[in-house]
Amino acid sequence: MPRMFGTDGVRGLANRDLTAQLALDLGDAAVRVLGSDSARPEQPTGRRRALIGRDTRVSGDFLSNALAAGMSAGGFDVIDAGIIPTPGVAYLTSVLNVEMGAVISASHNPMPDNGIKFFARGGFKLPDSKEDEIEDVLGQDWGRPTGAGVGRVSHDSNTATNMYIDHLVATVAPIVDGTQTKPLKGLRVVADCANGATSVVAPEALRRAGADVVVINASPDGYNINKNAGSTHPEQLQAMVKASQADLGVAFDGDADRCLAVDEDGTLVNGDQIMGILARAKQREGKLNHDTLVVTVMSNLGLKLALKDMGITTVQTNVGDRYVLEEMLKGDYSLGGEQSGHVINREFATTGDGTLTALTLCKEVVDSGRSLKSLAADFPQLPQQLINVPNVDKMAAKTNKAVLAAVAREEELLGDTGRVLLRPSGTEPLVRVMAEAATQEQADAVTARLAQVVADELGL
């Protein structure tokens, strides 16, 4: 059987793959695993609590109710924080006395999809082993509590949201002598909220930090999340930045754990460039632990070469912000992320936080006295091409002699001026073939040749 938990929780078509029954069962199983005495030796007695948040999808209503029902039936008191970004749940899980947090969201996926992911005490995503434990006990009968042992469900969206906004603003605009500082004063920013979970949070946090904010796609109706909006569809943001003569724009996804940016000319600034800008800023402030940035195998070689010239090392992980965080914790690194815009700033967060990224990026524009276009130009991106090769034996890509020989040939041709990457899909029978090179034509040619070899050798 395939593993239920993917790289970012349980995800699928709401009410088909992800049903109310499954949400209830996941809540029931999660309290058994994360609420066991062995999981909380420092606090073996007393009532146990969980926090739930969700994005703006209409299916979040029935799924959050079902998840809360499973948890409360298992003896947990549940705080339903309503619509709040995923990193907001992670933050609140880290500062409130709760055993776990849970988010109902499918992030950047289309509206019909949804998902459920959990955070352990402290606000960290679960390791694979804990997810496996939850899956192992899913649907099993057990001695559920009765009477006073049954949990309650309370709803408090305003308090949760305000606590999170206060935390975000304090990261860049501390209160001095009782007065809120305004480090972003004079900066005009367009915020594309993707009609998602940060539709209230991001505009308010940016304004409280002093920015002049133009807001688009912040009118969620349950059906329009990510629809031609946000980080996966930045075209509207690019046009609005130019039309409003803004200094920059920021685009979030549905649950606001990622952020991409747009410079004053309407040009997209991707996650690699954002990480480069923030890594250099942290290095300047003496806050880039070990002068190292953690990236994934998908990060552009141009970022690594630029950082090397600045005395910053890069450490590489598999794709997925959870793997980035694991490496950050292991090596005591302070900054890491993905090309897609997940940026983990361990000084303030335990997971990728799009609104936090937007605030810190805006502050660096102000502090440096340079435009976002100028800052991003210091991290040029090598031309890149990606081809998905479907209907193949994806695992054989790592062992097939002809494929490995073809990869070696292309790597020899590219030398230090580029690279190639073959990555099996985590959910489909396909292999992603990616190449970076000095020119787009060369990148296109390399991926075309490799994709043909993969198709010929591994076709099902």
**H helical segments located in 217-265:** 235-243
**H helical segments located in 350-389:** 354-368, 372-377
User: For the purposes of burial, counting CB atoms within 10 Å of the CB of 244, is it exposed (0-12), middle (13-18) or buried (19 or more)?
Assistant: middle
Average pLDDT value over all residues in the chain: 94
* Chain centre to alpha carbon of residue 251: 13
What are the DSSP calls for 64-130, one per residue?
A: HHHHHHHHHHTTEEEEEEEE--HHHHHHHHHHSS-SEEEEE--TTS-TTEEEEEEEETTTEEPPHHH
pLDDT digits (tens, 9 = 90+) for 86-112: 999 999 999 998 999 999 999 999 999
For residue 332, pLDDT over 50 is answered with yes
pLDDT digits (tens, 9 = 90+) for 178-211: 898 999 999 999 999 999 999 999 999 999 999 9
Q: What average pLDDT does this structure show over 284-309?
A: 96
Check residues 66 and 319 and name the one with the higher pLDDT.
Answer: 66
For residue 287, pLDDT over 70 is answered with yes
CATH number belonging to the domain at 165-378, selected among 3.40.470.10, 3.40.50.2300, 3.40.120.10, 3.40.50.620: 3.40.120.10
CATH number belonging to the domain at 384-458, selected among 1.10.10.60, 3.30.310.50, 3.40.50.140, 3.30.230.10: 3.30.310.50
pLDDT of residue 416: 85
pLDDT of residue 42: 53
Residue 429 confidence class, pLDDT cut points 50, 70, 90: confident
Do the beta carbons of residue 212 and residue 244 sit within 8 Å?
no
The CATH homologous superfamily of the domain defined by 10-155: Alpha-D-Glucose-1,6-Bisphosphate, subunit A, domain 3 (3.40.120.10)
Q: Strand ranges (DSSP E) for 109-247?
A: 113-120, 124-125, 153-155, 175-176, 179-180, 188-192, 212-216
Percent of the chain at pLDDT exceeding 90: 88
Q: What average pLDDT does this structure show over 304-322?
A: 94
pLDDT of residue 44: 41
Instruction: Give the residue numbers annotated as catalytic, written as ranges.
Output: 107
265 annotated as a binding-site residue:
no
Do the beta carbons of residue 97 and residue 49 sit within 8 Å?
yes
Q: Could you report how far apart the first and last alpha carbons of the chain are, in Å?
A: 20
Tell me the C-alpha distance between 282 and 271, whole Å: 16
pLDDT digits (tens, 9 = 90+) for 20-39: 999 999 999 999 999 864 44
Contacts of 178 (CB under 8 A, 6+ apart): none
Residue 427 confidence class, pLDDT cut points 50, 70, 90: low
Most distant CA pair in the chain, distance: 71
Q: Please tell me the pTM assigned to this model.
A: 0.92
Domain 10-155 shares a fold with domain 384-458: no
pLDDT of residue 114: 97
Structural domain boundaries in the chain: 10-155, 165-378, 384-458
pLDDT digits (tens, 9 = 90+) for 128-179: 899 999 999 999 999 999 999 999 999 999 999 999 999 999 999 998 888 9
For residue 374, pLDDT over 90 is answered with yes
Q: What average pLDDT does this structure show over 278-306?
A: 96
Residue type for position 264: E
17 annotated as a binding-site residue:
no
25 annotated as a binding-site residue:
no
107 annotated as a binding-site residue:
yes
For residue 2, pLDDT over 80 is answered with no
Q: What average pLDDT does this structure show over 321-346?
A: 95
pLDDT of residue 8: 83
pLDDT of residue 38: 43
Q: What average pLDDT does this structure show over 420-432?
A: 85
